[in-house]
Protein backbone atom coordinates (compact mmCIF):
# COMPACT_ATOMS: atom_id res chain seq x y z
CA UNK A 1 0.00 0.00 0.00
CA UNK A 2 1.01 3.61 -0.51
CA UNK A 3 2.16 5.60 2.54
CA UNK A 4 4.11 8.74 3.35
CA UNK A 5 6.87 8.43 5.92
CA UNK A 6 10.19 9.73 7.17
CA UNK A 7 13.61 8.22 7.78
CA UNK A 8 15.18 11.42 9.09
CA UNK A 9 13.93 14.36 11.17
CA UNK A 10 14.48 17.24 8.75
CA UNK A 11 13.26 20.79 8.11
CA UNK A 12 10.22 20.78 5.83
CA UNK A 13 12.17 22.61 3.10
CA UNK A 14 14.20 19.39 2.65
CA UNK A 15 12.61 17.05 0.07
CA UNK A 16 13.54 14.04 2.21
CA UNK A 17 11.58 15.31 5.24
CA UNK A 18 8.52 13.33 4.05
CA UNK A 19 8.81 10.72 1.30
CA UNK A 20 6.48 8.37 -0.59
CA UNK A 21 6.95 4.74 0.48
CA UNK A 22 5.27 1.35 -0.02
CA UNK A 23 4.37 -0.84 2.95
CA UNK A 24 2.72 -4.22 3.50
CA UNK A 25 -1.00 -4.29 4.27
CA UNK A 26 -1.24 -4.26 8.10
CA UNK A 27 -3.10 -7.02 10.01
CA UNK A 28 -5.66 -6.01 12.64
CA UNK A 29 -5.09 -6.89 16.31
CA UNK A 30 -8.06 -8.19 18.30
CA UNK A 31 -9.74 -4.79 18.94
CA UNK A 32 -8.51 -3.14 15.70
CA UNK A 33 -10.30 -1.87 12.65
CA UNK A 34 -8.43 -1.88 9.33
CA UNK A 35 -9.54 1.33 7.62
CA UNK A 36 -9.18 2.27 3.95
CA UNK A 37 -8.20 5.90 4.52
CA UNK A 38 -9.98 8.33 2.18
CA UNK A 39 -9.04 11.69 3.72
CA UNK A 40 -6.68 12.98 6.41
CA UNK A 41 -6.23 16.29 8.20
CA UNK A 42 -2.85 17.64 9.29
CA UNK A 43 -2.18 18.98 12.78
CA UNK A 44 0.67 20.79 14.54
CA UNK A 45 1.50 17.50 16.33
CA UNK A 46 2.49 16.05 12.93
CA UNK A 47 5.02 18.83 12.42
CA UNK A 48 6.31 18.55 15.99
CA UNK A 49 6.97 14.79 15.64
CA UNK A 50 8.61 15.33 12.22
CA UNK A 51 10.79 18.31 13.23
CA UNK A 52 14.59 18.09 13.65
CA UNK A 53 15.53 16.93 17.15
CA UNK A 54 18.36 17.86 19.46
CA UNK A 55 20.69 15.23 20.89
CA UNK A 56 21.68 11.80 19.75
CA UNK A 57 18.44 10.56 18.18
CA UNK A 58 18.62 7.27 16.28
CA UNK A 59 16.88 7.65 12.92
CA UNK A 60 14.06 5.13 12.33
CA UNK A 61 15.13 1.98 10.43
CA UNK A 62 11.69 1.51 8.90
CA UNK A 63 9.77 4.58 7.73
CA UNK A 64 7.99 6.39 10.55
CA UNK A 65 4.38 7.16 9.59
CA UNK A 66 2.75 10.30 10.98
CA UNK A 67 -0.86 11.52 10.92
CA UNK A 68 -3.60 11.53 13.54
CA UNK A 69 -6.86 12.58 11.84
CA UNK A 70 -8.60 10.33 9.34
CA UNK A 71 -11.89 9.46 7.68
CA UNK A 72 -12.39 6.28 5.69
CA UNK A 73 -14.12 2.95 5.33
CA UNK A 74 -13.68 -0.15 7.47
CA UNK A 75 -12.34 -3.07 5.35
CA UNK A 76 -11.45 -5.62 8.03
CA UNK A 77 -11.87 -6.11 11.78
CA UNK A 78 -10.09 -7.95 14.62
CA UNK A 79 -11.82 -10.95 16.17
CA UNK A 80 -13.05 -9.08 19.28
CA UNK A 81 -14.44 -6.01 17.49
CA UNK A 82 -18.09 -5.46 18.38
CA UNK A 83 -19.22 -2.04 17.18
CA UNK A 84 -18.11 -1.96 13.53
CA UNK A 85 -18.16 -4.06 10.37
CA UNK A 86 -16.68 -3.76 6.86
CA UNK A 87 -18.32 -0.97 4.89
CA UNK A 88 -18.83 1.35 7.91
CA UNK A 89 -17.72 4.95 7.29
CA UNK A 90 -15.64 6.07 10.27
CA UNK A 91 -13.58 8.99 11.54
CA UNK A 92 -10.99 9.14 14.32
CA UNK A 93 -7.79 10.75 15.63
CA UNK A 94 -5.99 7.57 16.67
CA UNK A 95 -3.12 6.87 19.03
CA UNK A 96 0.22 8.73 19.07
CA UNK A 97 2.03 5.55 20.23
CA UNK A 98 1.07 3.71 16.98
CA UNK A 99 1.85 4.41 13.30
CA UNK A 100 -0.20 7.31 11.96
CA UNK A 101 -2.72 7.54 9.15
CA UNK A 102 -0.58 8.84 6.25
CA UNK A 103 -1.22 5.46 4.62
CA UNK A 104 -3.81 3.89 2.33
CA UNK A 105 -4.77 1.39 5.02
CA UNK A 106 -4.54 2.06 8.73
CA UNK A 107 -5.10 0.19 12.01
CA UNK A 108 -6.97 1.81 14.89
CA UNK A 109 -8.54 0.51 18.11
CA UNK A 110 -12.34 0.53 17.78
CA UNK A 111 -12.73 2.18 21.21
CA UNK A 112 -11.43 5.51 19.86
CA UNK A 113 -13.32 5.47 16.53
CA UNK A 114 -16.66 7.09 15.72
CA UNK A 115 -19.19 6.62 12.94
CA UNK A 116 -18.64 9.65 10.73
CA UNK A 117 -21.41 12.24 10.22
CA UNK A 118 -23.75 11.03 7.48
CA UNK A 119 -24.14 14.53 6.11
CA UNK A 120 -20.40 15.04 5.45
CA UNK A 121 -18.04 13.73 2.78
CA UNK A 122 -14.73 12.17 3.83
CA UNK A 123 -12.76 15.43 3.52
CA UNK A 124 -15.14 17.46 5.69
CA UNK A 125 -15.29 14.64 8.25
CA UNK A 126 -11.48 14.25 8.45
CA UNK A 127 -11.24 17.85 9.66
CA UNK A 128 -13.02 17.09 12.92
CA UNK A 129 -11.73 14.20 15.07
CA UNK A 130 -8.47 15.38 16.69
CA UNK A 131 -9.59 18.96 17.23
CA UNK A 132 -13.15 17.95 18.15
CA UNK A 133 -11.95 15.50 20.80
CA UNK A 134 -9.46 18.03 22.18
CA UNK A 135 -12.05 20.80 22.41
CA UNK A 136 -14.74 18.52 23.85
CA UNK A 137 -12.44 17.03 26.50
CA UNK A 138 -11.02 20.46 27.41
CA UNK A 139 -14.41 22.14 27.81
CA UNK A 140 -16.52 19.38 29.32
CA UNK A 141 -14.09 16.89 30.96
CA UNK A 142 -11.31 19.21 32.17
CA UNK A 143 -12.97 22.62 32.72
CA UNK A 144 -16.14 20.88 33.88
CA UNK A 145 -18.47 23.06 31.80
CA UNK A 146 -21.94 21.57 31.47
CA UNK A 147 -22.74 20.24 27.98
CA UNK A 148 -26.40 20.34 29.05
CA UNK A 149 -26.54 24.12 29.31
CA UNK A 150 -26.27 24.56 33.12
CA UNK A 151 -23.52 27.17 32.58
CA UNK A 152 -25.44 29.18 29.98
CA UNK A 153 -24.52 32.84 30.03
CA UNK A 154 -21.06 32.38 31.56
CA UNK A 155 -18.07 33.67 29.59
CA UNK A 156 -15.05 32.00 28.01
CA UNK A 157 -11.93 33.37 26.34
CA UNK A 158 -10.70 31.08 23.55
CA UNK A 159 -7.09 32.03 22.80
CA UNK A 160 -6.31 31.16 19.16
CA UNK A 161 -9.95 31.18 18.06
CA UNK A 162 -9.45 30.69 14.30
CA UNK A 163 -7.08 27.70 14.47
CA UNK A 164 -8.13 24.08 14.11
CA UNK A 165 -8.99 23.56 17.78
CA UNK A 166 -10.33 27.09 18.27
CA UNK A 167 -12.78 26.72 15.37
CA UNK A 168 -14.55 23.72 16.91
CA UNK A 169 -14.08 24.83 20.55
CA UNK A 170 -15.88 28.09 19.74
CA UNK A 171 -18.80 26.19 18.20
CA UNK A 172 -19.06 23.80 21.16
CA UNK A 173 -18.78 26.58 23.74
CA UNK A 174 -21.49 28.65 22.10
CA UNK A 175 -23.89 26.13 20.63
CA UNK A 176 -23.65 23.28 23.18
CA UNK A 177 -22.75 25.04 26.43
CA UNK A 178 -24.46 28.37 25.75
CA UNK A 179 -21.41 30.42 26.79
CA UNK A 180 -20.56 33.95 25.71
CA UNK A 181 -17.45 33.40 23.60
CA UNK A 182 -14.60 35.86 23.28
CA UNK A 183 -12.14 34.50 20.71
CA UNK A 184 -8.68 35.85 19.96
CA UNK A 185 -7.47 36.44 16.39
CA UNK A 186 -4.87 38.84 15.05
CA UNK A 187 -5.86 39.37 11.40
CA UNK A 188 -8.99 40.40 9.50
CA UNK A 189 -9.24 37.00 7.78
CA UNK A 190 -8.90 35.00 10.99
CA UNK A 191 -11.25 37.37 12.86
CA UNK A 192 -13.95 36.92 10.20
CA UNK A 193 -13.52 33.12 10.37
CA UNK A 194 -13.69 33.06 14.19
CA UNK A 195 -16.95 35.05 14.03
CA UNK A 196 -18.32 32.56 11.49
CA UNK A 197 -17.50 29.77 13.97
CA UNK A 198 -19.69 31.51 16.55
CA UNK A 199 -17.52 33.96 18.49
CA UNK A 200 -19.52 36.84 20.01
CA UNK A 201 -16.43 39.09 20.33
CA UNK A 202 -12.90 39.17 18.90
CA UNK A 203 -9.78 40.37 20.70
CA UNK A 204 -6.23 40.58 19.34
CA UNK A 205 -3.66 38.14 20.79
CA UNK A 206 -0.75 40.26 19.51
CA UNK A 207 -1.52 42.64 22.40
CA UNK A 208 -1.69 41.64 26.09
CA UNK A 209 -5.09 39.98 26.35
CA UNK A 210 -5.92 41.45 29.76
CA UNK A 211 -5.55 44.95 28.29
CA UNK A 212 -7.61 43.97 25.24
CA UNK A 213 -10.44 42.62 27.40
CA UNK A 214 -10.36 45.65 29.66
CA UNK A 215 -10.45 48.11 26.74
CA UNK A 216 -13.38 46.24 25.15
CA UNK A 217 -15.12 45.96 28.55
CA UNK A 218 -15.25 42.16 28.17
CA UNK A 219 -13.52 40.88 31.29
CA UNK A 220 -13.06 39.21 33.69
CA UNK A 221 -14.10 35.77 32.36
CA UNK A 222 -15.31 32.51 33.95
CA UNK A 223 -13.20 30.24 31.77
CA UNK A 224 -10.10 30.46 29.58
CA UNK A 225 -9.10 27.90 26.96
CA UNK A 226 -5.51 28.53 25.88
CA UNK A 227 -4.75 27.06 22.45
CA UNK A 228 -1.49 28.86 21.73
CA UNK A 229 1.67 29.98 23.54
CA UNK A 230 0.85 29.33 27.20
CA UNK A 231 3.98 31.25 28.32
CA UNK A 232 3.07 34.41 26.40
CA UNK A 233 -0.51 34.50 27.70
CA UNK A 234 0.03 33.29 31.28
CA UNK A 235 0.26 36.67 33.11
CA UNK A 236 -2.78 38.03 31.23
CA UNK A 237 -4.75 34.84 31.90
CA UNK A 238 -4.02 35.15 35.62
CA UNK A 239 -5.24 38.79 35.50
CA UNK A 240 -8.49 38.23 33.64
CA UNK A 241 -9.75 34.97 35.12
CA UNK A 242 -12.60 35.52 37.58
CA UNK A 243 -12.18 34.51 41.22
CA UNK A 244 -12.83 30.73 41.35
CA UNK A 245 -12.59 30.56 37.56
CA UNK A 246 -10.82 27.85 35.55
CA UNK A 247 -8.08 27.88 32.91
CA UNK A 248 -7.21 24.99 30.61
CA UNK A 249 -4.22 24.90 28.26
CA UNK A 250 -3.39 22.38 25.53
CA UNK A 251 0.06 23.83 24.69
CA UNK A 252 3.30 22.91 26.51
CA UNK A 253 5.01 25.70 28.43
CA UNK A 254 8.68 26.41 27.66
CA UNK A 255 9.42 28.02 31.05
CA UNK A 256 8.00 27.16 34.49
CA UNK A 257 4.53 28.70 35.00
CA UNK A 258 4.02 30.76 38.17
CA UNK A 259 0.96 29.01 39.62
CA UNK A 260 1.03 31.30 42.65
CA UNK A 261 -0.53 33.99 40.46
CA UNK A 262 -3.80 32.01 40.69
CA UNK A 263 -3.75 31.53 44.48
CA UNK A 264 -5.51 34.78 45.56
CA UNK A 265 -8.40 33.93 43.24
CA UNK A 266 -8.55 30.22 44.11
CA UNK A 267 -8.50 29.76 40.33
CA UNK A 268 -7.93 26.33 38.79
CA UNK A 269 -5.44 25.38 36.08
CA UNK A 270 -5.62 22.12 34.16
CA UNK A 271 -4.13 20.47 31.09
CA UNK A 272 -5.84 18.73 28.21
CA UNK A 273 -3.91 16.18 26.13
CA UNK A 274 -6.07 14.41 23.57
CA UNK A 275 -3.80 11.34 23.49
CA UNK A 276 -3.98 10.64 27.24
CA UNK A 277 -6.83 8.12 26.98
CA UNK A 278 -5.26 6.02 24.21
CA UNK A 279 -1.66 6.41 25.43
CA UNK A 280 -2.44 5.10 28.92
CA UNK A 281 -5.29 2.77 27.83
CA UNK A 282 -7.47 4.41 30.51
CA UNK A 283 -10.53 2.44 31.57
CA UNK A 284 -12.71 5.14 29.96
CA UNK A 285 -10.84 5.24 26.64
CA UNK A 286 -14.06 4.23 24.84
CA UNK A 287 -15.31 7.69 25.85
CA UNK A 288 -13.59 9.01 22.69
CA UNK A 289 -15.86 6.81 20.58
CA UNK A 290 -18.89 8.26 22.40
CA UNK A 291 -17.65 11.83 21.93
CA UNK A 292 -17.04 11.31 18.20
CA UNK A 293 -20.52 9.80 17.81
CA UNK A 294 -22.04 12.75 19.72
CA UNK A 295 -20.18 15.22 17.49
CA UNK A 296 -21.39 13.34 14.39
CA UNK A 297 -25.00 13.62 15.55
CA UNK A 298 -24.59 17.32 16.29
CA UNK A 299 -23.19 17.84 12.78
CA UNK A 300 -26.04 15.87 11.20
CA UNK A 301 -28.58 17.96 13.16
CA UNK A 302 -26.92 21.15 11.87
CA UNK A 303 -25.74 22.32 15.34
CA UNK A 304 -22.04 22.02 14.44
CA UNK A 305 -20.30 22.41 11.09
CA UNK A 306 -17.07 21.06 9.69
CA UNK A 307 -14.05 23.31 10.17
CA UNK A 308 -12.42 22.31 6.86
CA UNK A 309 -10.94 25.31 5.06
CA UNK A 310 -8.64 23.86 2.39
CA UNK A 311 -8.65 20.46 0.63
CA UNK A 312 -5.71 19.23 -1.48
CA UNK A 313 -5.54 16.10 -3.66
CA UNK A 314 -4.00 13.56 -3.67
CA UNK A 315 -2.45 12.38 -0.42
CA UNK A 316 1.26 12.21 -1.28
CA UNK A 317 4.61 13.43 0.03
CA UNK A 318 4.64 16.61 -2.08
CA UNK A 319 1.22 17.75 -0.86
CA UNK A 320 1.97 16.75 2.73
CA UNK A 321 5.23 18.72 2.73
CA UNK A 322 3.29 21.76 1.55
CA UNK A 323 0.64 21.18 4.24
CA UNK A 324 3.35 20.96 6.93
CA UNK A 325 4.97 24.13 5.58
CA UNK A 326 1.67 26.00 5.84
CA UNK A 327 1.03 24.69 9.38
CA UNK A 328 4.49 25.77 10.48
CA UNK A 329 3.66 29.39 9.59
CA UNK A 330 1.31 29.28 12.62
CA UNK A 331 -1.28 31.23 10.61
CA UNK A 332 -3.57 28.60 9.17
CA UNK A 333 -7.30 29.09 9.58
CA UNK A 334 -9.61 26.13 10.25
CA UNK A 335 -8.36 22.78 8.96
CA UNK A 336 -6.12 21.66 6.08
CA UNK A 337 -7.25 18.34 4.61
CA UNK A 338 -5.82 15.99 1.96
CA UNK A 339 -7.95 13.41 0.17
CA UNK A 340 -7.61 10.58 -2.34
CA UNK A 341 -4.64 8.48 -3.43
N1 LIG B 1 -2.92 18.97 24.04
C2 LIG B 1 -3.59 18.50 22.99
O3 LIG B 1 -4.24 17.46 23.05
C4 LIG B 1 -3.54 19.26 21.70
C5 LIG B 1 -4.46 18.95 20.70
C6 LIG B 1 -4.47 19.72 19.53
C7 LIG B 1 -3.54 20.73 19.36
N8 LIG B 1 -2.63 20.96 20.35
C9 LIG B 1 -1.67 22.08 20.22
O10 LIG B 1 -2.45 23.26 20.31
C11 LIG B 1 -1.93 24.27 19.46
C12 LIG B 1 -3.04 24.75 18.55
O13 LIG B 1 -3.44 23.72 17.69
P14 LIG B 1 -4.31 24.07 16.40
O15 LIG B 1 -4.49 22.81 15.64
O16 LIG B 1 -5.51 24.86 16.77
O17 LIG B 1 -3.26 25.02 15.66
P18 LIG B 1 -3.40 25.89 14.36
O19 LIG B 1 -4.64 25.53 13.62
O20 LIG B 1 -2.10 25.78 13.64
O21 LIG B 1 -3.53 27.38 14.95
C22 LIG B 1 -3.37 28.44 14.08
C23 LIG B 1 -3.93 29.71 14.73
O24 LIG B 1 -3.10 30.10 15.81
C25 LIG B 1 -3.27 31.50 15.98
N26 LIG B 1 -2.08 32.03 16.69
C27 LIG B 1 -0.84 32.17 16.18
N28 LIG B 1 -0.03 32.70 17.12
C29 LIG B 1 -0.77 32.90 18.24
C30 LIG B 1 -0.49 33.41 19.54
N31 LIG B 1 0.72 33.84 19.89
N32 LIG B 1 -1.51 33.46 20.44
C33 LIG B 1 -2.75 33.02 20.11
N34 LIG B 1 -3.06 32.52 18.89
C35 LIG B 1 -2.09 32.45 17.96
C36 LIG B 1 -3.41 32.03 14.57
O37 LIG B 1 -4.30 33.13 14.60
P38 LIG B 1 -3.95 34.51 13.81
O39 LIG B 1 -3.59 34.09 12.41
O40 LIG B 1 -5.21 35.28 13.91
O41 LIG B 1 -2.80 35.13 14.55
C42 LIG B 1 -3.95 30.85 13.77
O43 LIG B 1 -5.29 31.04 13.34
C44 LIG B 1 -0.73 23.62 18.77
O45 LIG B 1 0.43 23.94 19.51
C46 LIG B 1 -1.00 22.13 18.89
O47 LIG B 1 0.16 21.33 18.85
C48 LIG B 1 -2.62 20.26 21.50
- Tens of pLDDT, residues 291-317: 999 999 999 999 999 999 999 999 999
Express as a percent the part of the chain with pLDDT over 90. 97
Taking CA atoms, 153 is separated from 145, 150, 176, 179, 293, in Å, by 12, 9, 12, 5, 26
Sketch out the chain's domains with CATH numbers.
Answer: 2-128+276-339 (3.90.180.10), 131-271 (3.40.50.720)
By residue count, the chain amounts to 341
- Strands, DSSP E only, in 172-326? 180-184, 201-203, 221-226, 241-249, 268-271, 308-312
Answer whether residue 253 shows pLDDT above 90. yes
Instruction: Give the pocket of ligand 1 (CB within 6 Å).
Output: 43-45, 131, 134, 159-160, 162-166, 184-187, 190, 205, 227-229, 232, 250-251, 272-274, 327, 330-333
56 has a pLDDT exceeding 70: no
pLDDT digits (tens, 9 = 90+) for 152-191: 999 999 999 999 999 999 999 999 999 999 999 999 999 9
- Tell me the pLDDT tens digit for each residue of 312-333: 999 999 999 999 999 999 999 9
Whole-number pLDDT of residue 257: 98
Ligand 1: centre distance to CA 166 (Å): 8
DSSP 242-254: EEEEEEEE-S--S
Mean per-residue pLDDT of the chain:
97
Q: Is 263 exposed, middle or buried (0-12, 13-18, 19+ CB in 10 A)?
A: exposed
pLDDT digits 0-9 by tens, 190-201: 999 999 999 999
- The residues with which 71 forms a beta bridge, in sequence order, are 39, 91
Torsion sign over Cα 168, 114, 3, 6: positive
Ligand 1 centre to CA of 161 (Å) is 8
Average pLDDT estimate for 207-226: 97
Please, are residues 25 and 1 in contact by the beta-carbon 8 Å criterion? yes
The pLDDT of 210-219, averaged and rounded, is 96
Q: Is there a contact between 209 and 240 (Cβ–Cβ < 8 Å)?
A: yes
Burial call 246-262: b when 16+ CB within 10 Å, e when fewer = bbbbbbeeeeebeeebb
Q: Which of 163, 199, 325, 326 to mutate to test the pocket of ligand 1 (most atoms within 8 A of CB)?
A: 163
pLDDT band for position 263 (50/70/90)?
A: very high
Amino acid sequence: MKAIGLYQYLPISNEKSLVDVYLDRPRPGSRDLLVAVQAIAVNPVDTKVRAPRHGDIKPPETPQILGWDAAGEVIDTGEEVEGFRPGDRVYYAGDITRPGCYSEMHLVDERIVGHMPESLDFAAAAALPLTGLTAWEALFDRLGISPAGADTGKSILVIGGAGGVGSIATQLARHIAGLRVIASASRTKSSVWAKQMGAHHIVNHRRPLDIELEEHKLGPVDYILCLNDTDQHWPAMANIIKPQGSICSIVDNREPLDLSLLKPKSATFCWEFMFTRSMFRTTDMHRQQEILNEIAQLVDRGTLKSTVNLVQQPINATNLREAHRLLETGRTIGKLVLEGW
